Copies of this chain bind each other. A is one copy, B any other.
Amino acid sequence: MEKLFVTEPDQLSAALCDAHGEMSMASLETRLIVAATRHADMLGIGYRDLMRDRNVWVLSRMSVEVSRMPGILDTYSIATWIESYSRHISYRNFALLDGEGNPIGYARSLWTCINIDTRRPSSLHQLDAELERDCPIAPIPRLGAVGGDECLHGKVSFTYSDIDFNRHVNSARYVERIADLFDLVWHDRNRIQRLDIAYLRETHCADNVEAVYCQDGDRVDVDINGSDGVTMCRARLTIVTR
């Protein structure tokens, strides 16, 4: 049982790059989730293992911080390991590595095991999977509600293509919708250096969703609220000038 899993080095296809010829934050999050999922398979706590008891892993929080993103034809890989594991949750960390194996980013995540019928937390067997390894970025923060007169409001909708096999909105699609609150001119000026995101409630296809967001210096705080006003997802972007 490998406590550290490192993906095969992959060359980033031009076809998978964003407007800046780089891996987008949403796309990086997807790759982190895929690496986590593969490692969970290898540890015997993957999709097939959990589904025997009608359980699945649900991503609850993620914090990603990068010094740079892989660009067109750059080689990269992802290392992942479990920092802490209990019967209901797992704290999993990541390093984004360049072609020489040097870290160019790190991530922290919190996963919850839920039963797909009750949608309530479920129990896993104990597992000796924890690995002590450095993850030199700030812990996952507790984000406060976004609001106030200075906030902007945007309409957001989630459609069929945003839904994953759990029948709720795919985690990375929230990140795209948050990035889409800003236009290309904004993104030409600013690069997202860090993303902190908390998935607070499962979202299904939904039209009357509202983003409430404020930019204060290098920080953008965002709440994605359902039509009932309950927050589905809360995020903070830390930006730097390109």
| Copies, count | 2
List, in ascending order, chain B residues with CB within 8 A of A34's CB. Answer: 13, 15-16
Residues of B within 8 A of A128 (CB): none
Residue of B nearest to A167 (CB): B19
Q: Which residue of B lies closest to A41 (CB)?
A: B73
Interface string of A163-179 (1 = CB under 8 A from B): 11101000000001101
Contacts of A163 in B (CB 8 A): 18-19, 184
Residue pair A161, B24 in contact (C-beta under 8 Å)? yes
Q: Which residues of B sit under 8 angstroms from A19, Cβ to Cβ? A: 160, 163-165, 167
For A16, A30, A38, A41, the residue with the greatest tally of chain B CB atoms inside 10 Å of its CB is: A16
> Which of B14, B17, B37, B176 contacts A15 (CB under 8 A)?
B37
Fill in one digit per residue for A144-169: 1 if any B CB lies within 8 Å of its CB, else 0: 00000000000000011101110100
Judged by a CB distance under 8 angstroms, whether A180 is at the interface is yes
Q: Give the Cβ gap from A185 to chain B, nearest Cβ, in Å.
A: 10
A124 in contact (CB, < 8 A)? no
> In the complex, A179→B161 CA distance in Å?
7
A48-76: which residues lie under 8 A (CB-CB) from chain B?
48, 72-73
Residues of A within 8 A of B (CB): 11, 13-21, 24, 26, 30, 33-34, 36-38, 41, 47-48, 72-73, 159-161, 163-165, 167, 176-177, 179-180, 182-184, 187, 205
Question: What are 25 A-B residue pairs whose CB atoms fall within 8 Å in the complex?
Answer: A13-B33, A13-B34, A13-B37, A15-B30, A15-B33, A15-B34, A15-B36, A15-B164, A16-B30, A16-B34, A17-B165, A18-B164, A19-B160, A19-B164, A20-B165, A26-B161, A72-B165, A159-B180, A160-B179, A160-B180, A161-B177, A161-B179, A163-B184, A167-B184, A183-B205
